[in-house]
Amino acid sequence: MSLSFRHLLVPLSAVLLLLSACGGDDPKDPVCGNGIVESGEACDDGNRTEGDRCNNSCQITTPTVDAGTETDAGTVTDAGTETDAGTETDAGTTTDAGTETDAGTEADAGTVDAGTETDAGTVDAGTTTDAGTTTDAGTETDAGTTTDAGTETDAGTVDAGTETDAGTVDAGTETDAGTETDGGAIDAGPGPDAGTETDAGTETDAGTVDAGTETDGGTDAGPAPDAGTETDGGTTDAGTSPVTLTALEPAATFARSGTTGETIPESLEVTLSAPADTAVLVQVTSSSPSVTVANNGQVVVPAGARSAAVIVTANAAAGSAKATLTATLGSDSRAATVRVLGETEAASLAFLSPETVEVAPGKTVNLTVTLDVPPATDTIIALSTTGGVGTVPASVTVPANQISAKFALTGGASGATGTVVATLNSQSVSAQAKVTSEPTTNHIIISEFAGAGPGGANDEFVELYNPTNAEVNIGGWRIQYKSATGTSYTGNFVLPTSARIAAHGYYLVANGSYAGSVAPDANWAGTISMSATAGHVRVGPANLSTAISDANAVDTLGFGATANSAEGASPVSSVPGAAGSLERKANAGSSSATMESGADATKGNGYDTNVNNADFISRTTRGPQNRASGTEQP
């Protein structure tokens, strides 16, 4: 019986299947270029063209056409170089991004497909029965392998590279430019960035001066000189020239136990060298728990201010009765003490000041009574006087938390001496008081004069004296001179605006050629040239004219027999020798002897009857005095 072809085919198929199961050798050698990946082939793209990722030996190679920018050239594990992974809109150029037959379309190069129907990624992009569709480029079961050109959801949309590519994490978008986990090593950002862990920006980014550190990170955002730190944040500096700590004053204050607030009787304050542009924090510490500083010792000086009060809480039971507070700003520190008072601690009298006072009859002078500590309540102090020196109020009150109070003494009878007494409970303190005679002269006077001297004709000076009980401002006043018979005052010198004469004090004005040992307070140089034998000198305010007769003249001295404008029409007739001078008397009984070295030598020069010849004496030796010479009482 003949066998049909169908009957022969079934046994033959069985034999072939058995041989295949037994692992028989492939009878055929691999053929590169037939589109089938065979034994020994890493790829087979259906051609034997070099430069398209699968060479003519069917091994994977680097393509000769760039899949990125001109500076990339691409690798198997990257769709760009280490510093690039394409641009934001493409993983290649608009014309290629792969081979001529691959790498997507002109508008995407992988965005939709990541391959054509005949390739889909050169290496895999799917199976031979899939190879990606125009809308897929790989399913969940395909989507390429670790060497594929896509991810689970695309094949180039997010990555345009492999799992080890710099595009998987980054893909070089405008909003990355290098992250902390990238830092440029696996970045695909553009060349100018690549970023660092501490930068996170480009050379022209992150603030130019400071991109912020982990301890800064932009907390301050101050100008270039600062850049701010976590402990700054703009509170202390804000990038301006720093201020310094100059004081913690007063040096000694009080705080009452059980209270919180400013110190007494004055507020303890920190003071800066200048107002700050921003708030400044000064740290203040205490040496004893009996005094604690509010806000953990942080005292804030507001912007635009120079000082701020130190707020403290006092607790006498917590520590010593006195605490040293130390203020610190940068390298500057200042210290002050705070004494803790008991809640009901009593105050005692300390002293009266000044300890010695002088007052004219009917005039007043102020005194101050001071306690040892500020009282907890208003404290009344009784007042009295002795010896007829004058009158005082019956009492004066020191307010609570203050330490002193002022009151006035009204002078009694001329020449009286005694005391002013303050009494608190059984304790008293006192000050000495003297009632002086009311001066007979109430204006500045010429007290001594020399029209020549041992140094020659220009060894000249004019000494002024203030017989009153108050300082007199003679700034801008004039010293004038005229000859014995001149029709006007030709010499004219204006005193400095700072010129002052203390009560019962002196002021010396001299020629530039003055040779005395006592320095002049003002020098008229050569403005005035006087005669040693006859002439006139006068003093007056700024509006003093040069006319012989001027009501603004305060005092005038005429000397020499021919002087025609002396006070009282009576010039000083005696002319001193070359070493001598003319001096005003201290009183009516003064003489040359008593004024030079006798009883009146230190009693001033307050005698003025407006008759020159009766008011002056002639000295054999000169004795000029200046502001530094001290004062002389009548």
pLDDT digits (tens, 9 = 90+) for 603-633: 999 999 999 999 999 999 999 999 999 999 8
Domain boundary residue, one of 341, 359, 375: 341
Residue 621 lies in a domain: yes
Q: Is residue 440 part of a domain?
A: no
The answer to whether 48 and 34 have CB atoms below 8 angstroms apart is: no
Structure tokens at 270: 């920190």
Three-state DSSP class for 153?
A: coil
Domain identity same for 496 and 536: yes
337 shares its domain with 353? no
pLDDT of residue 257: 96
Confidence of residue 579 (pLDDT cuts 50, 70, 90): very high
CATH code for position 424: 2.60.40.10
Least trusted range by pLDDT, from 238-252, 370-384, 569-583:
238-252
Check whether residue 257 and residue 385 sit in a common domain: no
* Domain stop point among 287, 314, 341: 341
Residue 413 and residue 475 share a domain: no
Q: How confident is the model at residue 130 (pLDDT cuts 50, 70, 90)?
A: very low
Q: What is the pLDDT of residue 385?
A: 97
Question: Is 551 inside a domain boundary?
Answer: yes
- The residue count of the chain comes to 634
**Residue 73 belongs to domain spanning:** 62-206
Distance CA 138, CA 249 (A): 81
Distances (CA, A) of 34 to 55, 56, 62, 101: 13, 11, 21, 17
- Residue-wise pLDDT tens digits, 526-546: 899 999 999 999 999 999 999
Q: Does 121 share its domain with 201?
A: yes
Residue 2 lies inside a defined structural domain of this protein: no
In this predicted structure, what is the pLDDT of residue 211?
Answer: 35
Q: Do 553 and 446 contact (CB within 8 A), yes or no? A: no
Domain containing residue 263: CATH number: 2.60.40
Q: State the burial class of residue 299 (Cβ atoms within 10 Å of its Cβ: 0-12, 13-18, 19+).
A: buried
Query: Do residues 70 and 155 share a domain?
Result: yes
Confirm whether 20 is domain-assigned: no
Residue 290 has pLDDT above 70, yes or no: yes
393, 318: one domain: no
Mean pLDDT value of segment 549-566: 96
Residue 278 within a domain: yes
Kindly state whether residue 121 falls inside one of the protein's structural domains: yes
Mean pLDDT of 475-499: 96
Asked if 455 and 509 sit in the same domain, the reply is yes
Q: Are residues 316 and 422 in the same domain?
A: no
In a domain, 11, yes or no: no
Residues 255 and 150 in one domain: no
When divided into structural domains, the chain yields a total of 4
DSSP state of 194: -
Are residues 581 and 499 both part of a single domain? yes
Q: Are residues 325 and 468 in the same domain?
A: no
Integer CA distances (angstroms), 97 to 170, 410, 487, in order: 18, 109, 115
Confidence at 26, pLDDT banded by 50, 70, 90: very low
Q: Which residue has the higher pLDDT, 226 or 526?
A: 526
pLDDT, averaged across the chain: 76
Beta pairing class for 404-411 and 427-435: unpaired
The tokens describing 18, both together, are 């058995």
Question: Could you tell me if 56 and 32 are in contact, meaning their C-beta atoms sit under 8 angstroms apart?
Answer: yes
Q: Are 310 and 319 in contact (CB under 8 A)?
A: no
Chain centroid, CA 513 distance in Å? 51
Amino acid at 385: T
CB atoms within 10 A of CB 365: 17
Final residue of a structural domain among 341, 363, 392? 341
